[in-house]
Amino acid sequence: MRILPWNGYEGALSLTFDDGDVSQAKIALRILDGFKKKGTFFLTGKQNDFEEIWKKAWIDGHELGNHSMRHKLPIAGEEYDAYEEVVESKSLLEKRYESAVLTYAYPYSFVTDGQIRCLQNTHIGARAGDEEQVILKYEDDVDWYKIPSFVATSDTDVITYKELIEQAVEEKAWVVFMIHAIEGIGTGYEPIPQEVLKGVLAETAKTNIWVAPFGEVCAYWRAQKIVETAIRENKTENILWDVPAFFEKRTILKVELDLNEEYQFFQNGRNIVKNAEGFYEICFNEGTLQMADKKKG
Ligand SMILES: [Zn+2]
């Protein structure tokens, strides 16, 4: 059996937007909705503009992420409380937007041990900045709290994004774009032209890439690795794994059998039947899978 990487697509792409800029609330959301694609919006605790817009975005399937409480740099000699910036900010955002906040983006892409310690049991993953490698292959080992991203600037052209999308598909990889603002309104950092965002979304439609929020891709990949390890170490038909508390949303893994395999799958007594597309849907959150080999009968 095989868990299909990237939800059954050849690669994955996450569009992430930082700082809750006016151009995201007023323009980016509209463009994404026009293409029926979902993005991730990293918001800060101390900034509460566009509350109703973000609440609706969450209901519509976009992700709201945590971008710290005050968007501060941990500078020596200045007051900095990582717990407040990471954990308290998550709770505040969840309460304000009536949503689940599962992921974090480091302000100024500045990663510190203090933030990581606070993230480990509370967030499913964290986005860092432009490391040397922004293409993450599914078989790679990954640091869930240092997931690199491609930093978009005003002069990045559609070709550049297109090449990254094609590379992700070719290498069965995940690529994350970090965007700050869209041209046309406000004074956000490095605004990208509206036509470029539309061009990027149009490119995704030409390839078999999974366009999904950062937290959703992260959850799928993390769950896949946990279940694969459990199956590898498994001695009986009953496979068990731990479900970390930050898996607050249901994560469904797609599983396929090899030609010579004849397994029946059960989760908590429920028989999982093959769906119309030919794969089985395993709910990671149940923490258990029974695999009965029909050949052993
Ligand atoms: Zn920021």
Residue by residue, pLDDT tens for the chain (297 residues) are: 899 999 999 999 999 999 999 999 999 999 999 999 999 999 999 999 999 999 999 999 999 999 999 999 988 788 899 999 999 999 999 999 999 999 999 999 999 999 999 999 999 999 999 877 899 999 999 999 999 999 999 999 999 999 999 999 999 999 999 999 999 998 899 999 999 999 999 999 999 999 999 999 999 999 999 999 999 988 788 999 999 999 999 999 999 998 888 889 999 999 999 999 999 999 999 999 999 887 775
Distance in Å, CA 18 to ligand 1 centroid: 5
Cα(72) to ligand 1 centroid in Å equals 9
CA of 165 to the centre of ligand 1 (A): 24
Question: CB count, 10 Å around CB of 201?
Answer: 20
Task: Identify the pLDDT of residue 57.
Answer: 98
pTM, two decimal places = 0.96
Find the 288 Cα to ligand 1 centroid distance in Å.
Answer: 39
Cα(45) to ligand 1 centroid in Å equals: 12
Q: What is the pLDDT of residue 293?
A: 83
Q: Residue 297: what pLDDT? A: 56
Alpha carbon of 139 to ligand 1 centroid (Å)? 30
Tell how far the Cα of 247 is from the centroid of ligand 1, in angstroms: 25
What are the tokens at 126? 């964290």
Q: How far is the CA of 71 from the centre of ligand 1 (A)?
A: 6
Distance between Cα 210 and ligand 1 center (Å): 25
Nearest to 179 by CA among 10, 1, 31, 7: 31
Residue ranges, CATH 3.20.20.370, the chain: 10-213
Cα 41 to middle of ligand 1, angstroms: 11
Residue 51 has phi, psi (to 5 degrees) of -55, -45
Return the closest-CA partner of residue 69 out of 115, 33, 28. 115
In sequence order, what are the residues at sequence separation of 6 or more whose Cβ sits closer than 8 angstroms to the Cβ of residue 90?
A: 66, 101, 104, 122, 123
According to the model, what pLDDT value does residue 230 have?
94
- Answer yes or no: are the C-beta atoms of 40 and 17 closer than 8 Å: yes
Architecture of the 10-213 domain = Alpha-Beta Barrel (3.20)
CA of 62 to the centre of ligand 1 (A): 18
Ligand 1 centroid–CA 109 distance in Å is 8
Residue 257 alpha carbon to ligand 1 centre in Å: 43
**Helix residue spans in 84-125 (DSSP H):** 89-97, 113-119
Give whole-number Cα distances, 171 to 5, 139, 165, in Å.
12, 10, 10
Residue 103: CB atoms within 10 Å: 30
Residue for token pair 């992420």 = 65
Query: From ligand 1's centre to the CA of 295, what distance in Å?
Result: 55
